[in-house]
Each structure stands twice: as structure tokens, then as C-alpha cells.
Amino acid sequence: MYQIKHTKNLKNSLNFIEIEDSNKASYAKIQLNLGASLQELKLLNQHLIKDLHPLTYRDTYASALLFPFANRIADGNYVFQNNTYQLEINQKQENNALHGLVYNKTFEIIDQKTTHEKAEVLLRYEETSLSKGFPYTYSIDLTYILTKDSLDVKVTVKNSDTKTFPFTIGWHPYFISQDLSKSSVHFKSHQKCVFDERNITQRMDKIAIDEPFLIEDKFLDDCFALDSNEIIFETPRYSFSLKSSDKNSFLQLYTPPYPNAIAIEPTTGISNSFNNGTGLKKLKSNDTYHINWNLKII
């Protein structure tokens, strides 16, 4: 039987959910006051996601939900429907707006269900104030479904405003390998982003990736347009498949200054998408957008 435990102590800034099966073979820890980010994950007794201490969440955005934009917006500046907007610059060294607006928000528990086979928790964040850089209201329903060998991350965004708004969305998990140099990522791509010194996309170059991408000793901070909605990560101890319900998507790979860790980030857009339009979506008033990321041990 699965169990869900909520720990809340605001004096110590504690507000998290732990999900675990009775055999302790699968486990998830979700930090509600850090954008409902998934800070730990174990499937079939294999640790896939761990705390990256001494790196902090502020350094890594580990497992953050990236909305209303994934990656960076150059100078935090963009034009939409003939109006110019200025986002907060939270990557000051490069003068970029980075990773959206909900990574540090607090989500509320709306519903939870447990059975012998799975646990499901529904979390919600409602934006009711109009920020200068993104003057729209919206709500996000985030559902985590944990089984012994899989995790589903389901997201529903509703535009509660009277105006259409632009957006992209992504997920920023870091995975742990016993030996990253002997690990690989399998995906299909024919285009790769070319960045400037600020990691802002300048163009898309043609490539041909249809074989395992060997990590070896590479330092990665690269973005690829995906030809398939499935990514496979192989390590010496475990392998998983990561599928997106959105078939027009991108893959960001990043190796942080932490041993044997890699960010494998599915996104619907690229850096500076609010300006270059690549992957940019528009959500009309009262409409909803749904996306699901399914991670399964194979």
C-alpha cells in the first residue's frame, strides 16, 4: 500500500510531501514551497533523483516546472501583440530572465489517492496578481502519479485572464548515474541550437542524431529539436524511458558542477522563445493546455 505524508513547519521553511510504498522500493519527495519540485525519486530501489548538496535549489532549479517560459529570455525583454514587456532579471551575470515564474511558488494540496499499486497527488498554484513582465492570471494543476517503476508528471495550465498569453513549458530534473561517463542518452534529432556567450539561441543548425549519445567526459549545455517524443537514458545500474505527450518538443542536456549528475529537460520551446517564436504557444482566455511526462524504468 502506498502512503502520502505531508510535513509542514513554516518556522523552519518545511513544506513537503513524501510518497512511499510499503516495500520502500519507490519513493518521491516533493517540495511544495519550491514550485512543487521533485527533489528525490526512487523506482525499483534505484535512486534516480537525489539532493545535489552542496548545490542549492537556487543554483540548479532542480526538477522545477518551467512556466511560462523554459530556459532564458534575453534581457528579460519581449514583445507580444505589439506591447513590450520587461521580466525580472534573475540571471544577473548574463542579464537574462531564467526558467519562468513558478519555480519558487508554493503549491497547495488539492487531492490525494493511494492504492496498493500507486499514489496520486494533485497540487495547484493560482496566480491572481498581474506582474509587470507577465500581466496575466492563470492556474496550474500539477499531478504526480507514482508506481513501483514509473512516475507521471501531469500539468494542466488554465488561462483565467481575459487576454491571450504566450508560453512555453518544461521540466528540469537532474538524474544521478553510478558512472555518468559510461552512460548515454538515446534520442532522435536533426536540429541543434547554436547559442551565444549568454546561452541565447542564435540559430538552429542541421545535425543527424539517431544513435546513442555517449556522455563520456563531455560538458553539456545543449538543446536539440526532437524528432520523437521519447528519450531513453541508460546508466550502468538502470535505464528509463521519458516520454512527452507533446510531440513537438525539445531536449536540453546539462551537466552541472556535481559528479555523475545530468539534467535531462523536456521542453516545448527553446531559449529566447518569446522573441524567436520557436516552440511558442498561445493560450486564449479560459482555455486549458495539458502535457504529461511519463518516466518509466525499462
Is 174 in contact with 261 (CB distance < 8 Å)? yes
pLDDT at 247: 84
What's 182's domain CATH number?
Answer: 2.70.98.10
pLDDT in tens, 108-135: 999 999 999 999 999 999 999 999 999 9
Residue for grid cell 525580472: 88
**Cα–Cα distances in Å, from 21 out to 1, 25, 150, 262?**
6, 7, 13, 26
Q: For position 60, what pLDDT does the model report? A: 96
State which amino acid sits at residue 66.
L
| Number of domains present in the structure of the chain | 1
* Domain enclosing residue 254, as ranges: 2-297
C-alpha cell at 57: 535549489
Burial label, 91 (beta-carbon count in 10 A; 0-12, 13-18, 19+): middle
Give the three cell numbers for residue 41: 525519486
DSSP 3-state of 275 = helix
Using 70 as the pLDDT threshold, list the residues of the chain that sit under it.
none
- Average pLDDT of the chain? 97
Tell me the pTM: 0.96
